[in-house]
Amino acid sequence: MRNKLLILCTILLCISCAKKSSMETRHYQSRGVEQAAALWTEQDGTQEEFDAFVEEHLCKTDSERVALYKSLSRILENCYQSADMLTVELLRPTQLTNASEPLEPDWIMSGYSPLAHFSDDMFSNKLAFVTIINFPHYTLEEKNTLGKKWTRQEWGMARLGDVFTTRVPAEVNASIAQAFANAENYIAGYNIYMGSLRTEDGRQLWPNDKVLLSHWNLRDELKALYADTAQGQVKQEMIYQVMQRIVRQQIPKEAINSGDYTWQPYSNTLQDKDGNTRSSEAEPYTRYERIMDCAHALMTEDPYCPTAPTAIIRNFDQGVEITADELDSLFRALVGSEQVKTVASVIRQRLGRDLRPYDIWYDGFKARASLNEDALTEQTRQLYPDADAFAADMPRLLERMGFTASDAKDIASHIVVEPARGSGHAWPCLGRQESARLRTRIADTGMDYKGYNIAVHEFGHTVEEVLDMYYIDHYMLSGVPNTAYTEASAFLWQQRDLQLLPQAAESGERLAVSGDEVLDQFWSMYEIMGVSLVDMAMWRWIYEHPKASAKELCEATISIAQQVWNTYYEPVLGEHDCVLLAIYSHMVNSPMYLPNYPLGHIVQYQLEEHLAQFTTPRAFADEYARIYRLGRLTPKEWMVQAVGQTPSITPILNAVDRVTSSRPSQD
């Protein structure tokens, strides 16, 4: 009783003596309690026990709350970092070539996640509830509006409110993982035997052993065919035909992952080895069934996520932190821009023919086509015989970009370079006791030019990771708003790879992006934004029709793809009701992930345009570092504080204008 009174007195005292902040404090408190109550279950205790818990753990003063914030930040940094360091060690044999050969236990442990039960544990020891009642969750809209006035610490506190927002039971997570694994396996086994394809007059265009995975390999083959002046277009038309059969779910099931029969995609007929036409059935609506299974699995999660009750909100508002509607209008503005028509006419001139729908994959702006790659490889192999040589050169790369010698040395000291078994990648640090990891694939003969180009991209990731971990004021703000923002840093470095070579002349000028590179990126944004629009619209449709059959989803997806095509692509590439935009396999195995790709370039061009004002390398590097020390604000607020504007496509359109207006007309 005495204690209770004391608490009550403290609250009253706090309210009366600190009028200005007390309203805000009370507002925080009731909101957090409300959110905690929504996640509190019978297993956690009775209503009375909840009330008692709140009374005991709700901070009574601002200074108590600040102390709690610091304590929770320290706990989370240690948990995340230690778990990550364990993962890195366990994965060493399976991921790196400078470790022992992986044995069976290493493969078993490669699937182990030390944090898999972290959230459950924090709810059962009630640390999650201590966090929620004192640091409530704010919606994206609230962060974007209230956040304009928040101090860095208030932002950090808001990020703490994002940590424990859901309480999804293990069996629900398991069923989601299963649905995604099924979709992944379906896509991984979806090969087209190109040697079995026949033209209508019976010609075979590809060798017997050519097998391509849909859609990535089909698309890459289509891109490579621009260089084949003899048969390129005939083959491209054939791939286009195959893709339409896949989307429309008309492909014979015998034509998937098998070369037992020959297939004429135009008439859609099969022949056996003796040349006899064979009746066939289309694959059932498996493609759409897999998507529907993933949707149903994700929907079972909805009731456990009171602050984000649909998979769409979880993906966009909470994941990307830009709403699906905002992305939708950003993308429509670009795909509907005049610049698309201008670049299309450049492509038409280069190809010397009218454009076809598959020219969304036009690959002729090869900025590096004129490079002598062999000569470059000779240079990079000599420079970087192994990973250690690249590591030793990192301070010079940073200095060349404009960093001071001491900053360059310090940033590089937090990055380790490791030889990867698979493709190159960056592995971020999750705390200030571990290094960011740059993984690169180097042959015994040294790093070839392609490997160098990728290594510089990954270096751009790791520099960003060090800046917003080691040089940041609040651990809860470490990182970037979303994947697009780290990709932007990686692109920024990657596109300067040639100028970073020691042989490149030191002009003292800021390093810049080439014109062909701009057009190449713009055209790929035009393509992938269309695909993203289809993906997002399909998910909206699924939530409006949760009980739809796979066949109904197929019909809806086709109709969505046609609408987007007819509005933004038919005027440029022709062909009414084309379904090509629904071919991406990501739509099946990584739902709603596609928008991240074009977003990376949007961010990159906003940064490029802003950084262009900083004409010396030193000023450029200082500004780049200031921006990447902003940390995990929302994408909108980050961009406002970085360049003074919200996310916008204007900079990329401006860049395209500059390139196309300076180009001599080829008419």
SS3 439: strand
Q: Is 434 helix (H, G, I), strand (E, B) or coil?
A: coil
Instruction: Give the CA-trace dihedral at 544, 547, 550, 553, to 10 degrees.
Output: -10
DSSP-assigned letters across all residues of 197-227: B--TT----S-TT-EEETTHHHHHHHHHGGG
**Residue 23 — φ and ψ, nearest 5°?**
-60, -45
For the bound state, the minimum distance from the C-beta of residue 486 to Zn ion, rounded and expressed in Å, comes to 7
DSSP state of 254: G
Q: Which residues contact 529 (CB under 8 A, 6 or more apart)?
A: 331, 334, 335, 598
Residue 439 or 510 having the CB closest to Zn ion: 439
Interface region with Zn ion, contact rule CB under 5 A, candidates 203-211, 234-242, 267-275, 484-492: 484-492
Of 35 and 596, the one with the shorter C-beta distance to Zn ion is: 596
> The sheet that has 277-278: what strands, in order across it?
262-264, 269-271, 277-278
Interface with Zn ion, residue 140, by CB under 5 A = no
**Site for Zn ion (CB under 5 A): how many residues?**
1
| Binding status of residue 490 toward Zn ion by CB under 5 A | yes
CB-based closest residue to Zn ion: 490
Question: DSSP string covering 580-635, please?
Answer: GGG--THHHHSTT-TTHHHHHHHHHHHHHHHHTT--SHHHHHHHHHHHHTS-SS-H
Contacting residues for 78 by C-beta, under 8 A, at least 6 apart:
431
Give whichever of 488 and 581 is closer to Zn ion, judged by the CB atom.
Answer: 488
Candidates 81-89, 144-152, 486-494, 510-518: pick the segment binding Zn ion (CB under 5 A): 486-494
Q: Which is nearer to Zn ion, 295 or 436 (CB)?
A: 436
Q: How far is the CB of 354 from Zn ion (least distance, A)?
A: 35
* Closest alpha carbon to 424 in 95, 140, 89: 95
Q: Closer to Zn ion at the Cβ: 486 or 634?
A: 486
CB contact at 8 A, 540 and 534: no
72 binds Zn ion (CB under 5 A): no
Instruction: Pick the closer one to Zn ion by CB: 490 or 572.
Output: 490
* Least distance from Zn ion to the Cβ atom of residue 487, Å: 5
Nearer to Zn ion, 484 or 640 (CB): 484
Residue 377 CA: distances (Å) to CA of 421, 422, 446: 20, 20, 9
The CB-of-510 to Zn ion minimum distance in angstroms stands at: 22
Q: Which residues does 429 contact at the CB level (< 8 Å), separation at least 6?
A: 81, 84, 414, 435, 436, 437, 465, 466, 469
Choose the binding region for Zn ion from 25-33, 64-72, 83-91, 488-496 (rule: CB under 5 A).
488-496
Helix (H, G, I), strand (E, B) or coil at 647: coil
Given the complex with Zn ion, which of 454 and 653 has the nearer CB atom?
454
**Smallest separation, CB 535 to Zn ion (Å):** 20
Q: How far is the CB of 424 from Zn ion (least distance, A)?
A: 9
User: Minimum CB separation from Zn ion for residue 607, in Å?
Assistant: 15
Q: Indicate the residue among 314 and 601 with the shorter CB distance to Zn ion.
A: 601
Minimum distance, C-beta of residue 81 to Zn ion, in the bound complex (Å):
22
Q: Applying CB under 5 A, which part among 147-155, 162-170, 201-209, 483-491 lies near Zn ion?
A: 483-491
CA 381 to chain CA mean position, Å: 31
Select the span of 46-54, 220-228, 485-493, 584-592 touching Zn ion (CB under 5 A).
485-493
Sign of the alpha-carbon dihedral angle for 555, 580, 495, 512:
negative
Please state the closest distance from residue 405 (CB atom) to Zn ion, in A: 27
Binding residues (CB under 5 A) for Zn ion: these are 490
